[in-house]
Structure 1
Amino acid sequence: MKNIKIVILAVLTTFLSIGCAEVLDTKPGNAYSDVDIFSNIELTERYVFYAYNSTENWGLNFDDWWTRRVNIENASDEAWFHFVPQNFLITRSLIAPNNMGFFRNKWRNYFSFVGVVNQFLVEIDDTPVAKTNPDEVAILKAEMLYLRANAYARLINFHGGVPIIDKPFNLNDDFVVPRDSYEDCVDFIVSDLNTAISLLPSSKMVRDGGEFGRISIGACMALKSRVLLYAASELHDPSTIPNGPLYDYTKSTKWQDAADAAMDLIETNAYSLLPISNSKEYQEMFLRPNRELILGRPYSPEFPNTPNDFNTLPDKAQSPHSSGGWGLSNPTHNFVMDFKMANGKRIDEPASGFDPNDIYANRELRFYSNINFQGASFRGDKLDYSSPGGADAKEAPGQVHFAASGYNLRKFLDESITIDAEQSPHRPYPLARYSEILLNYAEAQYHLGNEAEARLYVSRVAERVGLPAIVSSGEALLADIKYERQMELAYEGHRFFDLRRWMDDDKIAEDIQGVQWKKVDANGNLDENGTLVMTQVLIEDRSFNVANYYLPIPLNEVEKTGIAQNFGY
């Protein structure tokens, strides 16, 4: 079985001190020569497999302890990282070119992998392995083109237009490379993906079994759909601020292009939504490869370790204290209260059935799949966040990483294992799912004025989890599409970018709320045998300014190369 081996080889571990110019000048070094690597198909594959480390995973970065275990959900309204919250500086408009907190290595890391890809692409065609294994090499080239496209997609989501660099630097080259326009970057990404699609044989529309986790035609089409949807969004309209070539997308066909890219993938019929009858089935859908998962990054004993120690991710990192976890990403009360009721109504709508004295009752299915809350059953025990005496309360014995918001994450967690003793056997990190493509199409069709088509496709996602079909129109329909993205793609790395591309400033700046549970006697004093009461509490006072639609360019890059800084920094 030819499992993907995402490993860091000695051949690829040595990088020069990192700047945009320096990274892209780097060559694989000290264990094998280029002749060795490109004469042996297995070594060539391992070169490519190393570059898979550029894809997203359970952690925001892989080169420091904390950001290997928490992700970008904590910089949105989805969650709050209680242990070192000050490092998500962007939530309080404190991020700066010389102080980027947990985002400090994004520029460096993505351009590092761009350099790895460029070195491969410039050398591979003239190598012995290309002559002896042409079909395999064509597939490897497609994988590398996807990985470069994905790195650039992340870079432009974070920074706007960035330098387009498609070949390694030589010693005599000018390392000062200006930023290209956002639109040119999108075109470059789409071109790489189209070329990758053309290189992959039709048998690679889906890659499963022993090839699970490797780039497929479907994965390339999914990324193309996402990139074009983002480009069409309000943030990149020339009428909004910030504007100019580094941020604008001006094509008159932008929404049609986004709709076509999504439909191209839908019409392959290669992927489908899994039928779901209850919250347990929905939760367990994320624990193994399936036909809804277009691309996932493997985390399993079947696959060698990655820079993230998968035995702690996400079960150890996100489980409640009472089951042996650290609970690092605390879902916010804001997010909890956004979940609709099981009848499809929002909690403040007439006849919703919402009970302020039992706020977790009769909520939609995904609430119970995604969130651990007071009284929920998890790994056979009832969670108790209340003081005094609760096993998940702040003062519980051995408690360090208490759930400051009153909630823990449930999505992605495998309840069948014992933390620190077992590993979940298959669980992947979702990089692209079919439900996203349906929602991409619905959103694009809405902006094209085709509301009936938009309702049809957003309803497919809503009805799969037991909600009624969407019947709204106008702005209410757009709100329903946004809701489905919020809840269907929760904690999968979308929300941070969605709120920005929609320019939903109020949501970005919304103060983060949590809940505290206490047992009190008739006089209001803590009493383990008292009445359980809930109090809403402020967790973080957030703010936003327009500069925060993008991350700044790191100060060392600006000083080193004179590259243009982003608006507002």
Structure 2
Amino acid sequence: MNTKIFKLFGFGLMSGIVLTSCSDSFLEDKKSYDYVSPDAYNDYTGALLRVNDIYVRCLPDVNDDIKYWNTSTGSNDNAGKSTEEYSGLSDFVNGTQNPLNVMSGTKVPDLFFGSMNNVRENTYGHIRNINEVIEGISGSTLSDEEKNELLGQCYFFRAWRYYNMVKFYGGVPIVTEVQDPVEGVVNPRNTTKECIDFMLDDLDKAAKMMAESTMNGGAQEYGRVTTGTALALKGRVLLLWASPLFNRDNDQTRWQNAYTQMKAELDSIKACGYGLYTDGDNVNGSTFARVFTQCQNANPEAVFVTLYNNSNIDGDVAKNSRWERSIRPANTSGSGKTASAMLVDMFPMADGKRPATANTYTKLDASSYSYDKEYPFMNRDPRFYRTFAFPGFRWAYQGNSTLAEDQPNSPSYNNGQDYELWNYVWYSSEEDRDKVNGGDEYGADNLLTDVQGVYVRKRSDDLDINSSPLYANFDATNTEKGGGGFAFSAQPYMEIRYAEVLLNLAEAACGAEDMAYAVQLLQQIRARAGYTSENNYGLQANLASDQAACMSAILYERQIEFAYEGKRFDDCRRWLLYDGGQYFSQIDGAPSAWTLTGWGGNTCTWLGFTPLNGQRRENMYFRVNNDHSNGVGGTTYDSDPIADVERCAAVDLREDLTTQLETLKTWYADNLVRKDKKGDGQTSQQVDLYINFLPRYYFLGLPQGALNNMASVDQTIGWEDPHNGGANGTFDPLAE
């Protein structure tokens, strides 16, 4: 297969093209379930095409929310809205009002199976496809070198498929042979321990097989998985097994095993060319921001990456990322995502410490900087300014959104190159102005009712940090395929970054009681963010001697470093952060072994973490204050109550922030006031609802569709079993 085409498509060749665009005769004998003649595997190109098909099905897709085949990628989906990142009670945290069930009511989300009627659209169809390719390549006449290169990729993706099930369900059926979906096939659930061992074995094989072709400093084809990718996922699996979710008695052998293996294999990951992305121009977190825009050359941070292109050709050729369009404001042809006030308020201050008003991590030192919630942009961690966007901040792009028919009143800001976000709001009546649970906001600069509160800026292709935008086909007039100037973007998505490799290892080191080494790894992450040794990279002094404080610092660092990357929900579940894991005895049928005995019987208390259950997330807006027409205006773009007030210069992240932020603070004080508006829901009687993640949600029940079509599979304890008239399930995810 032409390497240049492969890179252009970014693994975007749909299997229809993979199997029909080549004229080679060995592809003519394809049958149902993507079957091809065994002879196809005797030709390296044919075997490679089948491996490419696995990429198409199994790579994470930034454009899809969490579902049976796709991990969360940072959007405001069910996973994102179950964390501090977004407001809005998701299916998982709305337990009091709409508890999840299998047979009736609010159905448990299907993160396991998918559609039975299409082998391409269910998890075990994907696994079947991988097994078929493994069998085909193993029995081929390819050289051992070619076999190893290709089989290593297959074993990685099989482990990846299982990882995404096991983390939610515990043990699932292990299938290693090609099985057609016919009556009589029986695949009972394996134990979680068996699944863990199976994944580790696949990943060890993958790492070994790919070593010769990928442990060469990064010369392999960018975007393909490598030995380093396999070992990084192996670290995740080991960490999952050692975490409180599966390790209720804090078995130290699991932590030590994870630490020993992960530390020993770090050099092999580095040998594949991976490392923290750095450059020589780290201004206000610019290096951190550039991590997400490196596409043309191999990005050392991208351990497991999905590539995209900016083609606007109809059909299967275009494989575009829609992330940029989803976060950009409506007056730039985007839509925008609202960050919850909870995460904004708990982000570190400029000295690396938590705000004194944020009591989520009580074993971590409070900042010496005072935090004024009216001016949340003052004196923050450098990553803060690359994660959120407020009124009065520059956010440049390349293109003219005013050409679009629905945006003629939007300011051009020099074709986007000098774009400033002014998303302050006003209301059409004093009654709406004072409501916390209703009333339309009208945003400045023609944002009107499409305005968001604090915008998610994370992973933005900001013109000021990337002068060659990845959305090369910016066209505000284009309405095809979703339209909009950022619709055709080649921005890659990184499922595993090297920063995660380091933080996974830091967590394992801390769990194994080598806190000094864990602190060294934290320092590396903080150094890239912009901290220096002068204040110990913003880390408090006792982390090397206090295990609970050290683990709390690691989880806090993960939360900040990986905000809006789809990682937080997994961390909240692994560490039982909704309730500390103290209520497992309330689950119907839960064995005594489910009781948390490690960490003092409550992970939240041990960590000094305020449980998420019982809290609310609101949205933060900045409205025109009452000194200006009582904060009331009209409903059109030209009815801004402070239209005649001269704006201060927008904050430019390319320059020193000290004076700029003080100037913006003064402008806010004269013209704006913070308004926290309802984020999480309320009852019909306008009574606030709170996060309520039920204990049984830590292990999900299998969806009814999967159970109906897999009669040999037992339901999880705590969930109703359609096979048995709705009686309680019997499968124990903790039994070995």
Partner of 1:386: 424
Q: How far is the alpha carbon of 1:297 from its aligned partner?
A: 0.8
The structure 2 residue matched to 1:345, chosen from 344, 353, 363, is: 353
Asked if residue 300 in structure 1 is aligned to residue 309 in structure 2, the reply is yes
The amino acid that maps onto 2:61 is N
Partner of 2:700: 551
Tell me which moved more, 27-36 or 176-185.
Answer: 27-36
The structure 1 residue matched to 2:563, chosen from 469, 473, 490, is: 490
Asked if residue 318 in structure 1 is aligned to residue 321 in structure 2, the reply is no
The amino acid that maps onto 1:557 is A
The amino acid that maps onto 1:491 is Y
Partner of 1:453: 517
Partner of 2:100: 95
CA contact (8 A) 1:55 1:151 kept: no
Matches within 5 A, 1:203-352: 203-205=213-215, 208=218, 211-239=221-249, 253-268=253-268, 269-270=270-271, 271-275=274-278, 277-278=282-283, 279-288=285-294, 289-301=298-310, 310-311=319-320, 313-327=322-336, 329-348=337-356, 349=366, 351-352=368-369
Q: How far is the alpha carbon of 1:346 from its aligned partner?
A: 1.2
Query: Cα–Cα, structure 1 residues 477 and 337, in superposed 2: closer, same or farther, change >3 Å?
Result: same
Larger Rg: 2
| C-alpha distance in 1 between matches for 2:300 and 2:457 | 22
| C-alpha distance in 1 between matches for 2:513 and 2:354 | 25
Q: How far is the alpha carbon of 1:170 from its aligned partner?
A: 4.8
| C-alpha distance in 2 between matches for 1:35 and 1:366 | 52
CA contact (8 A) 2:173 2:187 kept: yes
Q: How far is the alpha carbon of 1:216 from its aligned partner?
A: 0.3
CA contact (8 A) 2:326 2:334 kept: yes
The structure 1 residue matched to 2:171, chosen from 161, 164, 172, is: 161
| C-alpha distance in 1 between matches for 2:91 and 2:632 | 35
The structure 2 residue matched to 1:412, chosen from 435, 459, 477, is: 459
| C-alpha distance in 2 between matches for 1:33 and 1:336 | 53
TM-score, reference length from structure 1? 0.84
Query: Cα–Cα, structure 1 residues 483 and 309, in superposed 2: closer, same or farther, change >3 Å?
Result: farther
Deviation by residue 1:396-434 (Cα, 9 ceiling, x = unmatched): 75767542xx12221222123446346777532112111
Partner of 2:132: 119
Query: Cα–Cα, structure 1 residues 62 and 161, in superposed 2: closer, same or farther, change >3 Å?
Result: closer
Q: How far is the alpha carbon of 1:236 from its aligned partner?
A: 0.7
Asked if residue 465 in structure 1 is aligned to residue 470 in structure 2, the reply is no
Partner of 2:621: 516
Partner of 1:358: 375
The amino acid that maps onto 1:117 is I
Deviation by residue 1:34-84 (Cα, 9 ceiling, x = unmatched): 24633443232222112113132212258999x997656523324337xxx
CA contact (8 A) 1:56 1:431 kept: yes
| C-alpha distance in 2 between matches for 1:31 and 1:232 | 38
Identity of aligned residues (%): 23
Query: Cα–Cα, structure 1 residues 174 and 401, in superposed 2: closer, same or farther, change >3 Å?
Result: farther
| C-alpha distance in 2 between matches for 1:484 and 1:166 | 38
| C-alpha distance in 1 between matches for 2:449 and 2:316 | 25
Q: How far is the alpha carbon of 1:483 from its aligned partner?
A: 1.0
| C-alpha distance in 2 between matches for 1:64 and 1:159 | 14
CA contact (8 A) 2:311 2:319 kept: no
Deviation by residue 1:154-193 (Cα, 9 ceiling, x = unmatched): 1011211111111122577733322111111110000000
Q: Which has the higher helix share?
A: 1
Asked if residue 57 in structure 1 is aligned to residue 66 in structure 2, the reply is no
Deviation by residue 1:104-162 (Cα, 9 ceiling, x = unmatched): 35432432211111121223322xxx314542232111101000000101101121111
Asked if residue 367 in structure 1 is aligned to residue 394 in structure 2, the reply is no
Partner of 1:21: none
- In the alignment, structure 2 segments of 5+ residues that lack a partner are 20-29, 115-121, 357-365, 397-417, 429-439, 464-468, 476-483, 579-610, 634-640, 643-669, 681-688, 720-736
CA contact (8 A) 1:115 1:168 kept: yes
Deviation by residue 1:345-399 (Cα, 9 ceiling, x = unmatched): 2111252232333211111011111122232221232222222399x96567576
CA contact (8 A) 1:207 1:214 kept: no
Query: Cα–Cα, structure 1 residues 317 and 10, in superposed 2: closer, same or farther, change >3 Å?
Result: same
CA contact (8 A) 1:79 1:332 kept: yes
| C-alpha distance in 2 between matches for 1:365 and 1:39 | 53
The structure 2 residue matched to 1:561, chosen from 701, 710, 713, is: 710
| C-alpha distance in 2 between matches for 1:303 and 1:521 | 47
Partner of 1:22: none
Partner of 2:154: 144
Partner of 1:526: 632
Q: Secondary structure at the match of 1:42?
A: helix
| C-alpha distance in 1 between matches for 2:519 and 2:555 | 12
Tell me which moved more, 375-384 or 214-223.
Answer: 375-384
CA contact (8 A) 1:12 1:29 kept: no
Query: Cα–Cα, structure 1 residues 64 and 457, in superposed 2: closer, same or farther, change >3 Å?
Result: closer
CA contact (8 A) 1:298 1:426 kept: yes
How many pairs does the alignment contain? 535
The amino acid that maps onto 1:55 is L
Partner of 1:24: none
Query: Cα–Cα, structure 1 residues 314 and 485, in superposed 2: closer, same or farther, change >3 Å?
Result: same
The two structures, once aligned, show a CA RMSD in angstroms of 3.5
The amino acid that maps onto 2:138 is D
Q: How far is the alpha carbon of 1:555 from its aligned partner?
A: 0.9
Deviation by residue 1:231-256 (Cα, 9 ceiling, x = unmatched): 100111244xxxxxxxxxx9752112
Query: Cα–Cα, structure 1 residues 264 and 517, in superposed 2: closer, same or farther, change >3 Å?
Result: same
Q: Secondary structure at the match of 1:351?
A: coil
Q: Secondary structure at the match of 1:454?
A: helix
Matches within 5 A, 1:170-189: 170=180, 174-189=184-199
CA contact (8 A) 1:342 1:362 kept: yes
| C-alpha distance in 2 between matches for 1:443 and 1:28 | 47
The amino acid that maps onto 1:565 is Q
